[in-house]
Every structure is written in C-alpha cells, then in structure tokens.
Structure 1
C-alpha cells in the first residue's frame, strides 16, 4: 500500500473515531454543565449585577465582598452543556481519487496538489459541536447561599437560630431571595445535593 494511501486512510479512520467518541459523549449522563450565575443587588433582577461562571470542576466558594454587591436581591441561572453535533462535509471525490491514484512527479511543481487539497478537506470534514442550554428539569448545578463560611464551624457570635439551616439552595431563577438577601455571605457554585449540605 502506498504511503499516501495509508495517510489518507488513517485520516479517515481518525475522523471516524473522533465522531464516534463525540456521539458517545452526548449520551453520557454525567456530562459537566457550565453554569452562568447573574447576581442582582435588588429583587426583580434589578440594581447592580455581577456575572459569575462555573466551569463544572470542583466547587467554588465566592465571598459576597468579592462580587462587590451590598446584598443579593435576586439570582438568574443559565446552564449549558457541550453537545457534540458534527456537521459532516465529505471530501470532493475528484481530489480524493487523484490523491490516492496519482504518482508524484518531482519535476512538476503542481504535483501533489490534489493530495494537499484532499488532506485539507479530510481535516475539515466536520464541525465539532456547540454549547446548548440545559432544561431546568434536567439541570444538576446550582448556587448554595451560606450565612457563614462553608468550610469552617460558626464562631460563637455567628450561631444561627435553633432549627435554621446555615445554607439555602438556589436551583432556579429566583426574583426575590427574601431573608436570604441579607443573610447570605458566601455563594457556592457547583453541583447541588438536595438532601444534605456540601461541606
């Protein structure tokens, strides 16, 4: 088998392998979400705002003073997941055929142009995909508001009222956070667990 033929067949095989891996990626239930959180200082998505992004890695704790807002009046969430959706464009059969069958001529400066074009078309056979919104019913990420630092025990003066939870989960767009507007001191971005605190 000629070297050019082996290269072209390897190119086709690798493109097919990448496409198959991408299709399997789409079916994985544990695909990481990217979470965009817009925090507003007033209820009703008004006032000053700050946009935070969580890339789906380890949890991220953000102190309220870092976002430079006096309080959190409302929160808007946008979750995205990468969907591998190839747009396949097959190579031109004319160039592919000539790339496989023509013999190189070292005296001709245009010799091998068909191979170059065919390889370029093989490399650009498909576009990889795009970010798509996640339906709220399928979303796994959210924001947990904390009254104190989530990674340490409360100091004596910070103790919450008996029976009061030290955190509050925001898993959907929330136009009014009520009492948590003034209680929240930290925002934790990450995957939520409705049954127990992440600590």
Structure 2
C-alpha cells in the first residue's frame, strides 16, 4: 500500500497511529505530498479527484481518500480491532472520531486563514468562530475523559491525533490548563509506541 502524506497532517497521523496499532505500518509506503489549501498536488490528483492528504493506494491499486475511510479499510485488514462491532460502543467510537475530526477541521481552517491569506484579508470573526468550535469540542472531551481510560479504538486514536495537532500548531491555546482530565489521559496515551513513532517534526 502507498499513502500520500505530510508529516504535519493530523489526519495522516491518525491513519498511521491506526496502522501501527494494527501491525500494518510496515506495509505502507509513505509518498510525500505538497499540502496547500489552494493548490492541489497533481500527483495525488491523478489518483483521486479531491487530491486529499491522506490518500491511500490500496493493495488492489484503488485510491481511498479521507482518513475515516482509510482507517476503516486498514482496520478490516488488521482484524477489525479499532472499530467496535454494531452496538453502543461502535456509535460512541464513531461519534468521538467525528468530533475529533471536526475539531481538526476548525483548527486547520484557522491555520489556513493565518498562513494562506494576507493579513488584511483575514477575518477575525471567522477565526473566533472556529476557536469556539475547538473550545466546545475540548469541553465535550473533558466531560468524557474518564471513559477513555485504557480504551483503544478509533475514537481515542482520533482524539489523541487532534490533541497532538493542537500541541504542534496551537501551543498558545494551553488546552491542558482548562481540561485536566483530558490532559492526564493524553499524557499516558501519547507514550504509546504508535504515537511516538508518528510524532511530527517540530518545524
């Protein structure tokens, strides 16, 4: 398998954390891709019309995009260990993944607003709105942090990937100060070999 990736993409990190946990990381060849909000990578575009990162070329040559789709695909290859079967646990994990991805969407929109637009073109109201989404998502996770404990599924993998991105790009947010339960859980989860192996560069 081949994965178009950026070391800085939190969605790529989610996929690779999942791959490490499933014992599949060695079967994935990482292909570098240029990530830009307004310019699509032509190499990825040749494989998938959205030219997203991550995009996975699976073992049959098909292109799969969106980290949620890719994670479920590799989970099927790895024995269905990260996506619980039908029932309450599945809906909980999928909902947590959706919320973590929504937090990341908001963070990336802020990042693009600050890096892709000239200062005079930036919208403070837009940035405030995205920050509000991040704050409410963090509060939601904090209220449920006690349920994470030692659980390993797509919900906790997605949440950890999102928190790692906040540390990388939004260190001044100081999210731990207001979310001690979440911070304590993340401190333990971040020491997993899968998280350490996928730690993004600091620059």
TM range (shorter): under 0.3
Tell me the TM-score normalised to structure 2 length: 0.21
Structure of greater Rg: 1
Q: Structure 1 or 2: larger helix share? A: 2
Tell me the TM-score normalised to structure 1 length: 0.21
